[in-house]
Amino acid sequence: MFNIDQATREWKKALRQHETLEDALVADLELQLRDIFDALRGEGLTDEEAFRRAAAQVGTPEAIAAEYRKNRALALDRRRPWRPGRF
């Protein structure tokens, strides 16, 4: 039998292997995953199929980490060199 909590823990473990993904981002992604999962369950899919589709919709950990790194680098590049950082 499929266990959604165990599958989510394994999914989050894969996300946490990427050092660029912070805990708050992982928590946001988990909420997004669970929302999509609930919507797919409402459409009549089994738990396992709904989880697989939700995880595919959110994206692979590698793709998420790559996008986060890219966006972070762009944000850092936009800061003017003569302006100090906020912290």
**Which residues are within 8 A (CB) of 68 and not within 5 positions of it... i.e. 6 or more apart?**
20, 21, 25
What average pLDDT does the structure give for the chain? 87
Share of the chain above pLDDT 90, in %: 59
Handedness of CA 47, 49, 52, 56 (dihedral sign): negative
- Which two structure tokens, joined as six digits, stand for 39? 């919507």
Distance between CA atoms of 14 and 4, rounded to whole angstroms?
15
pLDDT at 7: 95
Residue 78: pLDDT above 80?
A: no
Bigger pLDDT: 51 vs 76: 51
